Amino acid sequence: MTLKISRRGDVPAFIVMDVMEEAGRLENAGKDVLHLEVGQPSTPAPKGVLEAARKALDDDRIGYTLAAGLPPLRERIAQHYKSWYGVSLDPSRIMVTTGSSGAFQIAFLAAFDVGDRVAMASPGYPAYRNILSALGVEPVLLETEREHRYQPTPALLDAVEGELDGLIIASPSNPTGTMLGEEEMAALTRYCREKGIRLVSDEIYNGIDFGIRSVSALESDDQAIVINSFSKYFCMTGWRLGWMVVPDDLALSMERLAQNLFISPPTLSQFAGMAAFDCEEELRANVARYARNREVLLNELPAAGLDELAPADGSFYIYADVSRFTNDSVDFCKHMLNEIGVAATPGMDFDPARGHRSLRFSFAGSTADMVEASSRLKSWLKR
């Protein structure tokens, strides 16, 4: 007798993980690989974070915490919103999570039911639509263009047929790096309030910006679901620590979901995370390096023939149109990796309909790697 298999796992693969695996295989075989595929800082966690973790290992039992996280960490996150955005938050509205991925799961489960419809920009982070699909929620992709700065707009939302229950925004965006300014953010939050649409704001790249300030949805809507993480700006990807600002009407259901799904976030990471906010000098130095890397690619990619690039206002990505070279970004990235050792992510990860003609470069690595990758690309594309 055939055993039942749930359809929840019938979602597309996260292609960047496949690229990382192949790049690792080639490296183990002796090939010199430049990693422009992976969305994580190449630097370790700040020194203060590592020292706090060592101290916690010596001093604490590292047992379970409250499902919403350690109270001192929640207080420190609330202080962060006051100092960065001028937003006053009660620490009870902060929920510490197992990475932003845990936050998305809790948020989507608490806010949406099977059959609901949630809009998001395309190109966009693939896990949004894949998690929603696994939960029986319909992702509604807004096909954004450069004229929209690859961000949702009220006009794009008005053009959607049928009712919407939610909207996910990401600023700075993955993969395009574009950002919403204060007016654009306020227009979207106002639209969602007027239409009764639940707003989820992904702000995990806040702080990694280049000349434009990262805006929080909380500045214009104090009841938005806001998700952030220690992974990107704070360089703590493997520590699996994130947080969420919880709307009043979802607080109880989110806490119950967190208790049952995760029990509590990683305790050692929470102790370490408290120190992350005191490492600003080191973290800003990382952003300065990203800015140098960004300039290298913005100058050198057009010289290689990749001159149609999304505006890279923030995060550490450049999204490039490669249609003059290929109509198959997955195959293009495979050849690029195998022939010149430059790993990048096919656009199909981020835009199922149009991603065959684009790819994403991450500039989170060293400046020397960006220079070398540009040199290899110029020679290869000329051939």
Q: Per-residue pLDDT tens for 331-349?
A: 999 999 999 999 999 999 9
Q: Are residues 26 and 52 in the same domain?
A: no
Q: Are residues 12 and 100 in the same domain?
A: no
Q: How many domains is the chain built from?
A: 2
For residue 266, is pLDDT > 90? yes
| Kind of pairing between the strands at 117-122 and 138-143 | parallel
Q: Is residue 362 part of a domain?
A: yes
Q: Is residue 360 part of a domain?
A: yes
What pLDDT shows up at residue 64? 96
Cα(278)–Cα(83) distance, rounded to whole angstroms?
13
Q: Are residues 134 and 26 in the same domain?
A: no
For residue 17, is pLDDT > 90? no
Residue 29 three-state SS: coil
What pLDDT shows up at residue 213? 94
Q: Is residue 295 part of a domain?
A: yes
Cα(255)–Cα(297) distance, rounded to whole angstroms?
43
Q: Are residues 168 and 25 in the same domain?
A: no
Q: Are residues 288 and 338 in the same domain?
A: yes
Q: Are residues 197 and 225 in the same domain?
A: yes
* Mean pLDDT value of segment 87-103: 97
Q: Are residues 301 and 340 in the same domain?
A: yes
* Mean pLDDT value of segment 272-278: 98
* Mean pLDDT value of segment 307-321: 96
What pLDDT shows up at residue 12? 84
Q: Are residues 360 and 235 in the same domain?
A: no
* Mean pLDDT value of segment 191-216: 97
Enumerate helices (H) and strands (E) in the chain, giving the number of each. 12, 12
Last residue of a domain, one of 247, 279, 311: 279
User: What are the φ and ψ backbone dihedral angles of 168, each rounded to 5 degrees?
Assistant: -105, 130
The CATH number that applies at residue 19 is: 3.40.640.10
Q: Are residues 40 and 59 in the same domain?
A: no
* Mean pLDDT value of segment 103-128: 97
* pTM reported for the whole predicted model: 0.95
Domain, as residue range, for 247:
47-279
Q: Is residue 11 part of a domain?
A: yes
Q: Are residues 272 and 287 in the same domain?
A: no
Alpha helices in 70-166 (DSSP H): 71-85, 99-111, 126-134, 154-158
Q: Is residue 1 part of a domain?
A: no
Q: Per-residue pLDDT tens for 54-76?
A: 999 999 899 999 999 999 999 99
Q: Are residues 231 and 318 in the same domain?
A: no
Q: Is residue 185 part of a domain?
A: yes
Q: Mean pLDDT over all residues of the chain?
A: 96
Last residue of a domain, one of 248, 279, 310: 279
Last residue of a domain, one of 279, 308, 339: 279
For residue 1, is pLDDT > 90? no
Both tokens of 258, joined, read 């967190």
| Kind of pairing between the strands at 166-170 and 117-122 | parallel
For residue 326, is pLDDT > 90? yes
What pLDDT shows up at residue 191? 98
Q: Is residue 100 part of a domain?
A: yes
Burial grade of 81 (CB within 10 A; 0-12, 13-18, 19 or more): buried
The C-alpha R_g of the chain, in whole angstroms, comes to: 21
Q: Are residues 253 and 164 in the same domain?
A: yes
What pLDDT shows up at residue 272? 98
